[in-house]
Amino acid sequence: MSSRRAHTDRHRERPRARRRDVLSLSAVAFAAAVVATGCSDGKKEPAGGEMTPIRDLNPAPDIVEVNLIASEAQQRFLADGPATVWAYRDGSVEGARATVPGPLIEASQGDTVIVHFRNELPDSTTVHWHGVRVPNGSDGTLATQPEVAPGGTFDYRFVVVDAGTFWYHPHVRGDVQVERGLYGMLVVKGAPDVAVNVERRFILDDVKLEATGELSATTDPLDVMLGRQGNVLLVNGTTALELRAESGARERWRFVNAANGRYFNLRLPDHTFRVIGWDGGMLAQPYDADALLIAPGERYEVLVELRGEVGAKLALQTVYYDRGHNVPDPGPQDLLTLKLTDTAPAVAALPTAWGEFATLPFDDTTPVQKLVLTEDEGSPGQDPQFFINGRKFPDVEPLTGTEDDLAIWSVQNDSEMDHPFHLHGMLFQVIDIGGVKPAQTGWKDTVNVPQKTTLRFAVRYGAPGEWMFHCHILEHAERGMMNSIRVGAKP
């Protein structure tokens, strides 16, 4: 299958040299125990698990205009008690509840999206449209706008030029704000039409809960090193989600990994994922995968053909992935259960053509931008630090480029853990990972750079403006592993 299998295999071959253990076994055993409890008696909320679509106020068919509000809210993840979260709600619906995840924003390729945002949080914030090629002024970073103060408003406006699965989240103190629940999905529909029995959308996350059910207020060095990994796994804000499904159904699933630091490596036992799209849209050629690794910030779209007898239950699981620092294997963990209640009616054949994709015409003369990712674990008890080219954001020198120019970025990960690298405002094509050309090609905005490996991608610089790039482990980004590129207008 994919490049992913290629790097996993390389990891297996590589001698497990003296990597420092940052995870104590007891911490993980504790986390696993809590997750297990959470899953077995976590059926407290009505099983819904679907995101509520936001109301489109604009009658024009090609304009999606919405009111989005961020505020404090209560959400019960486990029986123990509600957690105080920060969450989005639909500002056009009287009495709408702010939820984790926030309301689903849906548009069609080419639509104009207008978001009237209001901040009712006790802290200032912004909204970033992850993966969407917005004009710079709507990118929601501090390079493009001031923070929206409590009580303040900001209008975001952009045309969704790419069809795909995107998401929105704050871009200030992301490690805290996203972790508290500020994230939602943006789906942009486009060609081809794929006939399916059911389409589902899943935002994956985890939360670190106290015994009271509240979000943990402490951040320990391990949370910083790995990105906070919670003790309860969430799909669409729900633990142990149970969904009804039909045997024989062809389902389309869109995934977003909104976790600060957790890698999800999905598996549906006895089934195969047919990966049809990721990040920036459809793949030119779908591929089959038994396991689907989704690093923080990444998105994937898959088809599954559900098999099993009526009455059977299928569990979507996340399984071990070696992300570095000797993170131990907690064993497979269930994310949700599908109960087969019926037999599905047949659906039309799959399309024969998928995404459109032309390889960027890079060659030996294409300028190379070299970026080296490093970490400093610090002395025991101290927070680790993270760097790009030896510099820590905001003490950095932004890169420069010119709109439409082609470049190769060589991202060399010198650290002992993987980092999901994300670039705003443009899409790129991976050239090679550790010198190996990936088996699949498609448009990415976030890509996992494996430990001790160099990944190269080709990019054509996007619209003028200042575009951030950073590790999408939000603790790393907020502790230095971030910079920007200033793209100038074409002469």
Where do contacts with Cu ion occur on this chain (CB under 5 A)? Answer: 130, 419, 424, 471, 473, 476
Q: What is the rounded CA–CA span in Å between residue 112 and residue 449?
A: 33
Kindly report the three-state secondary structure assignment for every residue of 33-101: HHHHHHHHCCCCCCCCCCCCECCCCCCCCCEEEEEEEEEEEEEEEECCEEEEEEEEEECCCCCCCCECC
Minimum gap (Å) between residue 227 Cβ and ligand C2O: 13
Task: Note whether 331 and 325 are within 8 A (CB).
Answer: no
Binder of ligand C2O out of 4, 128, 250, 252 (CB under 6 A): 128
**Angle, vertex CA 197, rays to CA 195 and CA 198, nearest 5:** 105
Binder of ligand C2O out of 248, 261, 297, 384 (CB under 6 A): 297
Q: Residue 289 CB: number of other CB atoms within 10 A?
A: 20
Number of residues engaging ligand C2O in binding (CB under 6 A): 10
- Which among Cu ion, ligand C2O, none contacts residue 171 (Cβ within 5 to 8 A by kind)? ligand C2O
> How distant is the alpha carbon of residue 94 from its chain centre?
30
What DSSP character marks residue 136? Answer: G
The nearer residue to Cu ion, 267 or 419, going by C-beta atoms, is 419
Q: What is the rounded CA–CA span in Å between residue 59 and residue 13?
A: 58
Minimum gap (Å) between residue 131 Cβ and ligand C2O: 8
The nearer residue to ligand C2O, 129 or 362, going by C-beta atoms, is 129
Minimum gap (Å) between residue 299 Cβ and ligand C2O: 10
- Which among Cu ion, ligand C2O, none contacts residue 103 (Cβ within 5 to 8 A by kind)? none
- Which among ligand C2O, Cu ion, none contacts residue 297 (Cβ within 5 to 8 A by kind)? ligand C2O
Of all residues in the shown chain, the one whose CB is closest to ligand C2O is 130
**Angle, vertex CA 392, rays to CA 469 and CA 139, nearest 5:** 30
Minimum gap (Å) between residue 296 Cβ and Cu ion: 9
Provide φ and ψ at 203, rounded to 5°: -105, 120
Task: Note whether 483 and 469 are within 8 A (CB).
Answer: yes
The nearer residue to ligand C2O, 7 or 470, going by C-beta atoms, is 470
- Which among ligand C2O, Cu ion, none contacts residue 419 (Cβ within 5 to 8 A by kind)? Cu ion
Minimum gap (Å) between residue 417 Cβ and Cu ion: 7
Token pair of 404, please? 């439409």
Task: Note whether 338 and 277 are within 8 A (CB).
Answer: no
- Which among ligand C2O, Cu ion, none contacts residue 468 (Cβ within 5 to 8 A by kind)? ligand C2O
- Which among ligand C2O, Cu ion, none contacts residue 473 (Cβ within 5 to 8 A by kind)? Cu ion
Q: Binding marks (x or -) toward ligand C2O, 213..252, rule CB under 6 A?
A: ----------------------------------------
- Which among ligand C2O, Cu ion, none contacts residue 470 (Cβ within 5 to 8 A by kind)? ligand C2O
Minimum gap (Å) between residue 93 Cβ and Cu ion: 27
Q: Which of residues 444-483 bind ligand C2O (CB under 6 A)?
A: 468, 470, 472
Kindly report the three-state secondary structure assignment for every residue of 260-284: CCCCEEEECCCCCEEEEEECCEEEE
- Which among ligand C2O, Cu ion, none contacts residue 201 (Cβ within 5 to 8 A by kind)? none
Question: Quick one: CA dihedral 446, 168, 110, 196, positive or negative?
Answer: positive
Q: Residue 17 CB: number of other CB atoms within 10 A?
A: 7
Q: Is 424 in the site for ligand C2O (CB under 6 A)?
A: yes
The nearer residue to ligand C2O, 262 or 452, going by C-beta atoms, is 262
Q: What is the rounded CA–CA span in Å between residue 336 and residue 339?
A: 10
Give one word for 4, left, alpha or beta, with left for phi > 0 and alpha for psi -120 to 50.
alpha
Minimum gap (Å) between residue 132 Cβ and ligand C2O: 10
* Element of type H or E holding 113: strand 112-120
Minimum gap (Å) between residue 467 Cβ and ligand C2O: 9
Strand-pairing partners, residue 339, are 244, 313
Contacting residues toward ligand C2O, per CB under 6 A: 128, 130, 169, 171, 297, 422, 424, 468, 470, 472
